[in-house]
Structure 1
Amino acid sequence: MTIIHPTAIVDPKAELAASVSVGAYAVIGPHVRIGEGTTVGPHAVIEGRTTIGRDNRIFQFVSLGAVPQDKKYAGEPTELQIGDRNTIREFCTFNTGSAQDAGVTRVGDDNWIMAYVHLAHDCQVGNQTTMANNATLAGHVHVGDWVTVGGLTGVHQFVKIGAHAMVGFASAVTQDVPPFMLVDGNPLAVRGFNAVGLKRRGFSVGRVNAIKQMHRALYRKSQTLDEARAEIGVLGASTPEAAPDVALMLDFLQAATRGIAR
């Protein structure tokens, strides 16, 4: 049966799976749905149209599903969707989406989100990401799978961070960060590619070498972006095992809207 501390306030219309636990003084609103095995810590507030999946660990003093910090918000029924097996540490704040975008803020599966992280309206966060303490994502930010965002980092609205990228401590991310890259600083600069992260994830030598060549094409040859894209485009044929990585990079460069970090 659901374990709800007697001091918690859970609206009768909220939908909590049988194995959910809710800590002392937590508050859960009427439009909230929480899946099996998820634990909600004391003093957490979960409100709005918020859907949370299975086996999440939500720590004390978290605020999930509050309305956007957007002056244009006019009470539209926007949402927050959180997947499975996420760890969400103390004092995190995730807002619902806005009518100016898809209307949904999304967090995928297996993310490790440390204390004081803010996800603004319409952020789209993938799977297996790590966000260190005080990372702050402004509205409409997209974060790919396996991204690491260092502590005290600010990400400008509408920025995209590609899969497997790593953003260092206390960075100011104002431009799109291509997949696999290692960036930090204020102003932001590309320092290399995320070799250690790729090794830890089991990337083969051939794939890592192809990613190294993509980094060189973008950042070491004084080429225009179009010239770099053309060079990257032939890597998939010469290194078939890296073809998905090449496609990921080309798709990202095509979709980049704020210019890439260089």
Structure 2
Amino acid sequence: MATYFVGDIQGCFDDLQHLLQQASFDPDQDQLWLTGDLVARGPKSLETLRFVKQLGSGAVTVLGNHDLHLLAIDAGLAKLNPKDKTQAIFAAEDKDELLLWLRQQPLLAYHEAFNIIMVHAGISPQWSQQQAKLYAEEVNMQLRGDDYQTLLAHMYGTHPDYWQDELQGFDRLRFIINAFTRMRFCAPDGQLEFHNKHSPAENDNAQHIPWYEVAGPHLDGAHVIFGHWAALEGNCGHENATTLDTGCVWGSSLTMLRWEDKAVFSVPCPVHAI
């Protein structure tokens, strides 16, 4: 049995299949961990959802910002981005089953045997890893409940952008969602920055620091695996963090890591995003 971690798929189903073939992935024995954003800009988001769901316990995925946006569109709370290619999902006979399954997925997954935390974007530098697990579950409980649409209606926005333990209600849940699914740069004190999507090498603002380089307890303990930030090109340079989004949907590559021997697999991808 092998455990594989793969970066953002974003509907690039064929590229995922090529990658799994390259690694000789065995769905009957191996396990696939996905960093979220299963859907969006690639051509086969529906096929991607169906494939990951049918793997059952052989797959572990966390929710990314595009996955949450898909749920909000289905609830009539957001509009389809013209760049997204998810229309087939809404016309599918199994749409309700697929989206119910998606809504049950966590913001944070923990691999106990390997002491690995997987998230989509990152962990707030103001949190310990234990706090991150608890805060993720706060959102997951709301999202899995009957009133999940109210959460989706209030999740959009960039404020508050600084964590305080006293945060309550949807302000609290919105910050948690943004940290786990949208974060890239932070201020030195951990304040979230939402607009800078460059790589750290291209960043010219001294007040914008990659979240994993901000001083804090967030990377003490478990190794953290994340996606979301394609501009990092699969390299964050931190000994206790690994990033796997290598921009498949933008015509770069799809990357997968086999944890047991740290073997890296990669396939070049055609340009899917407009």
Q: TM-score, normalised on structure 2? A: 0.25
Question: Which structure's relative contact order is higher, taking Cα pairs within 8 Å and 6+ residues apart?
Answer: 2
More helix by share: 2
Q: TM-score, normalised on structure 1? A: 0.25
